[in-house]
Amino acid sequence: MRRIRIELAYDGTAYHGWQVQPDLPTIQAELERVVGQIEGAPVAVDGSGRTDAGVHALAQVAAFSLTNPIPEDNLCRAMNRLLPPDIRILRVQETNAAFHPRFDALGKTYEYRIFRGQICSPFERRYVYHHPYPLNAEAIVELAPVFEGEHDFSAFAASDEKDRLGASKVRRVFSSRIELENDRILYRVSGNGFLKHMVRNLVGVLLEAGRGNIGREEVLARLRPGSTSRPGRTAPACGLFLVSVRYPDHPGSHNR
């Protein structure tokens, strides 16, 4: 049995997120359909994590096991031939039999793209949040780093079916920064893990601060343990991209 690691990019517009859902198009379902055809039997595909409906990926990581001896390059070509054009396999590599793209991951980086111009091109509308309203962009540049460090991000998480398990919502954010590029705001955040809707809710809070509706102290209060604040407006999925997933040099140790 071979363990295959793939890196893929996708336009998430037409999909209901990563995870398989009954009677709905998802990225995982498309991958399992295609790999199953190549293997001639059902194959489970593991991902580095779930992305929400409409979220895109520049470099998602997934893995699966198969017996087919097809060479890596041929497997890449075969998968791309069978997949819809909005999902592309970028790299295929045979890896450690114990490799798991979720449990071995050390961190992830996301980018959120906001377009501030009055007219958004129809060719970009699927990949940015169009926000042509007054905004103190310099204020949110200064505010973005407050999320760095280890915090309880309960106030920035949507309800999840895993909540009943009582899992911790403490996460470590390595970097949280905003860049201004003419009519664009680019928010890039890296961390050891992210909760459901967490990045989109971080963006939503930053935008509320940029509109002058909340201040720095109110944002900091949401990071304090026991905060009862709930997420405000969640930024739309279309502006969010999974940029990369980071792994140790020798994956397979399962960092649980």
Question: Taking a C-beta distance cutoff of 8 angstroms, is the pair 241, 110 a contact?
Answer: yes
Q: How many CB atoms lie within 10 A of CB 55?
A: 25
52 is catalytic: yes
Dist CA 179 CA 225 (whole Å):
29
Of the candidates 129, 57, 112, the one whose C-alpha atom is nearest the C-alpha of residue 240 is: 112
Dist CA 211 CA 227 (whole Å):
23
Scored b (16 or more CB within 10 A) or e, 12-29 reads beebbbbebeeeeebbbb
DSSP per residue, 42-107: ----EESS---TT-EEEEEEEEEEE-----HHHHHHHHHHHS-TTEEEEEEEEE-TT--TTTT--E
Say which of 52, 86, 104, 183 is annotated catalytic. Answer: 52
User: Annotated active-site positions, please?
Assistant: 52
